[in-house]
């Protein structure tokens, strides 16, 4: 039995359409779901918050400590200046509350302390380098030397214990010795800005200040 050509072509077109639809359906790729970043776990959230809270608490504690220290230093300085002297409990030394207030030569500083009458005592003297070194406040950082006298005095005061008031670096009683072992030239001074003794007298015109001390209880 022969099919008409038009019928054959019609059947072939139906078969081709059905096969194409099935092939298209079978080769389709399923859509990929988007990746979602995992959120912090409930255990991690409190840890982060605790770290932030601990940082804030530490900053507040440091601020409170600095304020308390500044208040204590101001109180001690006020008491020392009102009394006129300060006794260092760690060394037993009695210090004049302030220096002579103007720069003098080493011999003038020696004479100033020798003539000083303070708190009922007349045995005042210039301190040694070691005694001056005991006044260094090691809790404060060493600043750069200031270029003007006002700022220099502020930095100087921050490095001296006991609330003492200094106008500048003080002379010490220490003197260099010649080859025969005899003391000569002027004494050394103590640099409180850099917290160390200094023999560099020529750079500072041989003029410093007189800060007097005596042994408490004598």
- pLDDT tens digits, residue range 124-160? 999 999 999 999 987 765 544 444 443 444 445 457 8
Stretches where the chain sits below pLDDT 50 are: 21-27, 143-155, 157
**2 is a domain residue:** no
Round to whole Å and give the CA distance between 132 and 192. 9
Counted domains in the chain: 1
Round to whole Å and give the CA distance between 73 and 84. 16
3-class secondary structure, 208: strand
Per 3-state DSSP, the chain is made up of helix, strand and coil in percentages (nearest 5) of 40, 20, 40
Instruction: CATH number of the domain at 81, please.
Output: 3.10.100
**115 is a domain residue:** yes
Per-residue confidence (pLDDT) for residue 156, from 0 to 100 = 54
Per-residue confidence (pLDDT) for residue 43, from 0 to 100 = 59
What b-and-e string marks burial along 24-52, b requiring 16 or more CB atoms within 10 Å of the CB? eeeeeeeeeeeeeeeeeeeeeeeeeeeee
Per-residue confidence (pLDDT) for residue 39, from 0 to 100 = 58
**10 is a domain residue:** no
Domain carrying residue 198: 63-215
Round to whole Å and give the CA distance between 134 and 120. 24
| CB contact set of 160 (below 8 Å; sequence gap of 6+) | 135, 136, 137, 166, 192
pTM for the whole thing?
0.64
With beta carbons less than 8 A apart as the criterion, state whether 209 and 103 touch: yes
């Amino acid at each position: 039995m022969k099919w008409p050509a038009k019928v054959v072509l019609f059947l072939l077109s139906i078969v081709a359409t059905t096969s194409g639809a099935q092939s298209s359906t079978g080769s389709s790729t399923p859509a990929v779901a988007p990746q979602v970043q995992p959120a912090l776990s409930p255990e991690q959230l409190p840890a982060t918050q605790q770290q932030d809270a601990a940082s804030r608490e530490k900053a507040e504690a440091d601020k409170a400590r600095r304020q308390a220290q500044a208040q204590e230093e101001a109180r001690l300085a006020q008491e020392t200046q009102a009394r006129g002297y300060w006794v260092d409990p760690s060394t037993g030394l009695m210090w004049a509350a302030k220096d002579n207030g103007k720069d003098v030569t080493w011999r003038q500083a020696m004479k100033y302390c020798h003539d000083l009458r303070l708190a009922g005592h007349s045995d005042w003297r210039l301190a040694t380098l070691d005694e001056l070194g005991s006044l260094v406040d090691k809790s404060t950082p060493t600043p750069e030397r200031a270029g003007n006298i006002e700022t220099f005095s502020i930095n100087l005061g921050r490095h001296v214990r006991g609330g003492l008031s200094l106008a500048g670096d003080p002379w010490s009683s220490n003197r260099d010795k010649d080859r025969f072992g005899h003391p000569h030239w002027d004494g050394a001074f103590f640099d409180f800005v850099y917290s160390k003794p200094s023999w560099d007298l020529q750079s500072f015109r041989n003029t410093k200040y007189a800060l007097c001390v005596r042994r408490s209880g004598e």
